Chain A
Amino acid sequence: MSTLDLLSLDFVRNALVAGVVLALLAGLLGPIVVGRGMAFSVHGTAELAFAGGAGALLVFGTDAIGWGALVGAVLVALLFGALGRAQRERDSVIGVLLSFGLGLGVLFQSLYTGRSANKFGLLVGQIVGVDVGDVLTLSAVGVVVLIVFAVVRRPLLFASLDPDMAAARGVPVRVLSILFAVLLGVTVALGVQIVGALLVLCLLITPAAAAAQVTASPTLASVLAVVFAEVAVIGGIVASLDAGLPISPFVASIAFVIYLVCRALGALRTRRRATRTALATG
């Protein structure tokens, strides 16, 4: 079958819709994750989503994976959100919980005796296993996250990029931090089921990090992060169909190439600005 034929298949279309929704959420939240220096806690949240999903699979079966991942991710995201801004303390707590979550997940998976594809999927993604029901759930959750995000975006940006000033201006910094943790937990839980725990970072971090290299405008950074995430996901799905391989390596590679290109452009931009400043002052 050609790629075009494959694209007309239902399960492929479901996968694409799921990917588009996920990339939209990840692209929007990404710049704030990067701005708050939360890359590591996204990774930790993903491992706990994995543990939650694996536990639910073991106890309740395949239908419960999504809920297990959601509970695991949101609980731990709340915990991370409540941690202070002291980087070292935060990093060590995340490291402790991340490794514990990974250990639990592996334990649950080895106790599980069902289909091995179910197990593997949580770590590296199983987007082609997405059915219509999943797509509907995903879209509904996505819409809720989008609405909440749109309402709090400006104070959230203020609290994330300029925290001391935001606090002085009466922004409820702590409440927003916890709210953002929930949005992030939900997004990570969805991502874990689609691209897998190991690659959630490549949608939440890489596109936003790439965008930060080429623009300093927060709005443009969000737009670019969404575009980059969409390109990586859609490109990854199409390429994986063609090659008959899992989608994760393709999504990760496309995102990585985008990042490299943006870094090069960013270096060029910085050099040009430095030259201009030198000319202006010298």
Chain B
Amino acid sequence: MTPSIRLSGAEVRRGGRTLWTGLDLDVAPGEFVAVLGPNGSGKTTLLTVLLGLLPLAAGTCEVSGSPPRRGSADVGYVPQQTSVDPLTPLRGRDLVGLGLDGHRFGLPFRGRAERTRRVHEALLQVDALELADAPVGALSGGEQQRLRIAQALVGDPGLLLADEPLHSLDLARQRTVVELLERRRRDHGTAIVFVTHELNPVLPVTDRVLYLVDGQFRIGTPDEVMTSETLSELYRTDVDVVRVRDRIVVVGAEDRLVHTGGGP
């Protein structure tokens, strides 16, 4: 089977600085990869590469067997939260619809019924039908985030890239979103790359972790990567990783990365 993502020897540079180099990573369809690391370690930049917005400085990158392409329908994207002005003339259904055909030029007359159906379905998937006619700018952060996920899923992508999608959601909503993503990858084989500061909410569904620190990285299952030994190596200081019930607590890297609270 063609991997959803294939990175080999990938190197990324930004502003003259090498963020990471020599990254080899294959992501299979339906796989859930959590990307962790302190701010500035190049987590979001990885998504930028996969979206086809930033070329690699070295190495190769393939998404579903071909080089990443701007605006590919096969890639869904949930961006880091940005606020929408309250008076922006945009309803929930408009935001989701833009994810489907907002990048297309021309008159919007063809396939209106099909468009309406798909937008409805995407809203249903994230349990946001009641937000369809609400002005996006008047919604809470969590409500906007659900619409963002619907916007990413409406094109029926084979790969979903999510940048801190649980940020500002309460625990119940976090669980809903994680269940939704879990169902999505199980039923549709959508591979998910999930950038986060907080592994615990997604720990039960995470297949592998990519942990980036200062140009160094480790890839493996949560059990392989989230150990005192591995993280101490990465951070080049003493870091303790403790399992408390079904959660992982990292001590010693707090000034750069916080793993407390927020577990399901």
Instruction: Please report A residues at the B interface, Cβ cutoff 8 Å.
Output: 31, 34-35, 37, 150-155, 157-158, 161-162, 164-171, 211-213, 215-218, 221, 270, 273
Per-residue CB contact flags for chain B residues 96-109 toward chain A (1 = under 8 Å, else 0) read 00110111111110
| A contact residues around B70 at 8 Å (CB) | 169-170
Interchain CB contact under 8 A, A155 and B87 = no
Interchain CB contact under 8 A, B89 and A154 = no
Interchain CB contact under 8 A, B53 and A168 = yes
Cα A169 to Cα B52 in complex, Å, equals: 9
Instruction: Please report B residues at the A interface, Cβ cutoff 8 Å.
Output: 51-53, 69-72, 77, 79, 82, 84-85, 87-91, 94-95, 98-99, 101-108, 133-138, 151
Interchain CB contact under 8 A, B79 and A216 = no
Interchain CB contact under 8 A, A171 and B71 = yes
Chain A's closest residue to B51 (CB) is: A168
Interchain CB contact under 8 A, B89 and A162 = no
Q: How far is the CB of B80 from chain A (nearest CB, A)?
A: 8
| A contact residues around B101 at 8 Å (CB) | 154
Option from A35, A164, A216, A273 in Cβ contact (under 8 Å) with B82: A164
Cα A79 to Cα B94 in complex, Å, equals: 30
Interchain CB contact under 8 A, A273 and B138 = yes
Chain B's closest residue to A163 (CB) is: B82
Chain A's closest residue to B106 (CB) is: A151
| A contact residues around B90 at 8 Å (CB) | 161-162, 216, 218
The CB with the most chain B CB atoms within 10 A, among A168, A217, A218, is that of A168
Interchain CB contact under 8 A, A165 and B89 = no
Interchain CB contact under 8 A, A217 and B105 = no
Interchain CB contact under 8 A, A158 and B98 = yes
Chain A's closest residue to B78 (CB) is: A165
Cα A150 to Cα B104 in complex, Å, equals: 12
Interchain CB contact under 8 A, A170 and B94 = no
Cα A142 to Cα B88 in complex, Å, equals: 26
